[in-house]
Amino acid sequence: MKPERKLRLLLVDDHAVIRMGLTGSLNLEPDLTVIGEAGKGGQAIELHRKLRPDVVLMDFRLPDMTGVEATKTICREFPDARVLMLTVHEGEEDVYQAMQAGALGYVQKSIGWRELLAAIRSVAAGERYLPPELAARLKERLSREALSERELEVLHLIVRGQSNKEIGVSLNISDVTVKRHITHILEKLHVLDRTQAAIAAIQRGIVHLD
């Protein structure tokens, strides 16, 4: 017996081959149908306005903006939007930012097919979906104090290998102020030095290397 109404999906990924493969596989499911594809965040926003899908499968890294930024725009304009992040990124900050933006679920592209289908159907029903390991990372992130915008700027420059003096010049702040920001960063990340801070920033998804 066929379902009365199929769940309508919008795929957002900058790799056409991935979209093609997902579309072909998802359309084989009796209760799912892909109604649109987007390779950029701006295009995803426009298609959501036009198509009003039941679920958006959103990649994290897109050419024109992040998937988090696209999700935030969609969810602000459509409070009932249901977004499932489908990405290779697994850092705690990635998960945190996505859920803060309004995503209902977050899964990795290495996920098994059955679990992906379960995630899509759960999000379509308005339920949150996080695999246990990602839920644990989100819990870790929630237990830590957030970095300020200035601290994030300093941390990005630390990851780029800039010295305290170079950071001061880049941000037009004094060496004393740079040192104070770094002290706060180390405390908030629970690390001992700049090297550990840089490693933690990358591993946790606070800073992404281009």
Domains of the chain: 7-142 (3.40.50.2300), 149-203 (1.10.10.10)
Backbone phi, psi, residue 194, to 5°: -60, -40
- C-alpha separations of 46 from 42, 70, 182 in Å: 6, 10, 41
Higher-confidence position of 4 and 182: 182
Tokens, residue 25 = 């596989």
What's 118's DSSP letter? H
Residue-wise pLDDT tens digits, 6-43: 999 999 999 999 999 999 999 999 999 999 999 999 99
Q: What pTM was estimated for this model as a whole?
A: 0.83
Residue-wise pLDDT tens digits, 67-102: 999 999 999 999 999 999 999 988 899 999 999 999
Helix (H) or strand (E) holding 67: helix 67-77
